[in-house]
Structure 1
Amino acid sequence: MQDKNSINKARALYYNLFENFFVVSSKSENYFELIRLINVLKENPLDQVSGTALNTISEMLDPTSNVKLVQEYDDLFHNPLTKKVRTTASFYDEGVESGKKRVEMIQFVAKTKLRRDEKNFFEYEDSVGFIFALMASLCDAVANGNKEYENTVHCIFAQIINEFIDEFAKDVYEHEKSNVFRELMVVLHSFVEFERLYLEVSKPAPKEKVEENKNESISEEEMQRRAKNKALKALGPKNAQDEACPVDIAYDVESEI
């Protein structure tokens, strides 16, 4: 059986793969890194289904240009002419883009030495791209001996990723413009199932789909204030998992990832 360091390095590679799909960059080296990751992971996939999907992705992508991928990304997540897939945990939790899950992610980041680079990363802390990037860095850090991050990794998966990732993946998979990303969701499904087994986290029970909250436009400061209040109200009696994954509610975090 592989030792934990090898497993954590492999987990970091998968999170890095998903990060590179959801954090769009104009830098060609980032796209070449994505192609490299696909080629590495398709040689030793988690299972046959994800292996087939990785091979299909490899065949669909142009190894010299990211134009096709960027176009599909825009069609899925930004095109006003098609159904736009939301990318934040808060949206799937409450129907808003800056809610309780963003508060929780800000606090998880505060427990690490990592920070969001606000000059180059504009998405919220609970966006899939940021979450995958953070998890890739933390899994790599754990593999390199920083065991203090093991609990943070477990908590982010259990309290953030696990709660919304199935619904998000379904929305991406079923989107009319989804081609490369449809295959990626097959890989993501296999990886999430692995993570649940490895971290001993149960799949959440199905819940009623949250509708978008179309309240009046409000300022960033007001959004943060409301999110903080919602999070405070949501703090009920603690269970065993809450004790293991404490989240303080505050906004005094200087971000830089």
Structure 2
Amino acid sequence: MTQKESLYKARSLYYGFFSKMLVFTTRPNRFDGLLEVLDVMISNPLDENSCEALKEIKEFIQTYHESGLCDEYDYIFNDPDSRALRDTASYYDEGVESGKKRVAVKNFLGKTKIRRNEANYYDNEDSVGFLVTFMHELIELILKGETQYETVQHCLFTEIINEFFDEFIVNLYEHDKANAYRSLAVVLNAFLEFERLYFDVKKPLPKEKPVVATATESCEYISDVEAKRRAENRAKREADSLVSSCSIEDSSTTEEFKDIL
């Protein structure tokens, strides 16, 4: 196995892991293999902080089981009694749930043989869960020799994922119901930095905020920036360890995500 193939397999493993954690399905085997994947990732961590975060996720599952993970997911993303965490690129780009970024992702899908399973999966194509699953499937196709999808994965990351994942990660980390998912935010942050190195793109500049009218609103804005800085500092970039994880074997197949794609 070449170093490039090992790197693709490691990236596929991470995206597959994120898909398991960030996509809701009604399949009873939704989390099958999750602990085994966590063990592989803990043995080949991106950095010390993300390694500890992975261990925290594993400990949470062992303590509260898969039902505890499902409950926390629902509290964060689906709780009707609180403001559910927004997770679409369109929302972070325009403040709407179905906007230009969703159209862009659908256009990328149109360049592939991958399709959203509309019968079982209801979230938009530019939702975080769908995007990480889409990337996982693209990498799997590339590993099978369909190298024409290398350009699609590059564009999907640079034009969609890179543009809003930082904000999503901070919101996930700061959610008052987040426990295992706060740890997931740390892993996501470390992996996002690795992907920026891989695709040779920079972190986007902070978007301009509306001019605030009161001192209170201004303080809230400063607090958000500081909160983001603290969250990012929890997962410093050490991407070389991912390249060294060349012993990682196939972690999942397209069949595993049939409810989504």
What stretches of structure 2 of length at least 5 have no aligned partner? Answer: 211-259
Deviation at 1:58, TM superposition (A): 0.3
CA RMSD of aligned residues (A): 1.8
Cα deviations by residue, 1:195-242 (Å, 9 ceiling, x for unpaired)? 0001101100011358xxxxxxxxxxxxxxxxxxxxxxxxxxxxxxxx
| TM-score, reference length from structure 1 | 0.78
Cα deviations by residue, 1:3-29 (Å, 9 ceiling, x for unpaired)? 111101110110111111111223232
Q: Does 1:105 align with 2:75?
A: no
- Which residue pairs with 2:187 in the alignment? 187
Q: Distance in 1 between matches of 2:209 and 2:33?
A: 35
**Structure 1 pair 157–5 and aligned structure 2 pair: CA distance change class (3 A):** same
Q: How does 1:41-60 map to 2 (within 5 A)?
A: 41-60=41-60
Residues 87 and 127, structure 1, Cα contact 8 Å, conserved in 2: yes
Residues 25 and 121, structure 2, Cα contact 8 Å, conserved in 1: no
Deviation at 1:84, TM superposition (A): 1.7
Q: Distance in 1 between matches of 2:34 and 2:96?
A: 30
**Structure 1 pair 3–91 and aligned structure 2 pair: CA distance change class (3 A):** same
Deviation at 1:82, TM superposition (A): 2.5
Deviation at 1:63, TM superposition (A): 7.8
- Which residue pairs with 1:149 in the alignment? 149
Deviation at 1:53, TM superposition (A): 0.6
Q: Distance in 2 between matches of 1:58 and 1:147?
A: 34
More contact order relative to length (CA 8 Å, sep ≥ 6)? 2
Deviation at 1:120, TM superposition (A): 1.3
Q: Distance in 2 between matches of 1:143 and 1:21?
A: 23
- Which residue pairs with 2:21 in the alignment? 21
Match for 1:34: what amino acid? L
- Provide runs of 4+ in structure 1 moved above 6 Å: none
**Structure 1 pair 94–18 and aligned structure 2 pair: CA distance change class (3 A):** same
- Which residue pairs with 2:172 in the alignment? 172
What stretches of structure 1 of length at least 5 have no aligned partner? Answer: 211-255
Residues 18 and 132, structure 2, Cα contact 8 Å, conserved in 1: yes
Q: Distance in 2 between matches of 1:82 and 1:180?
A: 19
Residues 35 and 63, structure 1, Cα contact 8 Å, conserved in 2: no
Residues 32 and 63, structure 1, Cα contact 8 Å, conserved in 2: no
Residues 76 and 84, structure 2, Cα contact 8 Å, conserved in 1: yes
Q: How does 1:62-101 map to 2 (within 5 A)?
A: 62=62, 65-101=65-101
Residues 5 and 142, structure 1, Cα contact 8 Å, conserved in 2: no
Cα deviations by residue, 1:97-151 (Å, 9 ceiling, x for unpaired)? 0000000000000101111111111111001111111100111221222111111
Residues 62 and 68, structure 1, Cα contact 8 Å, conserved in 2: no
Q: Distance in 2 between matches of 1:54 and 1:209?
A: 34
Q: Distance in 2 between matches of 1:33 and 1:153?
A: 25
Match for 2:54: what amino acid? L
The answer to which of 40-49 and 161-170 deviates more is: 40-49
| TM-score, reference length from structure 2 | 0.77
Q: Does 1:199 align with 2:194?
A: no
Residues 77 and 85, structure 2, Cα contact 8 Å, conserved in 1: yes
Q: Distance in 1 between matches of 2:43 and 2:64?
A: 21
Residues 196 and 202, structure 2, Cα contact 8 Å, conserved in 1: yes
% identical equivalent positions: 46
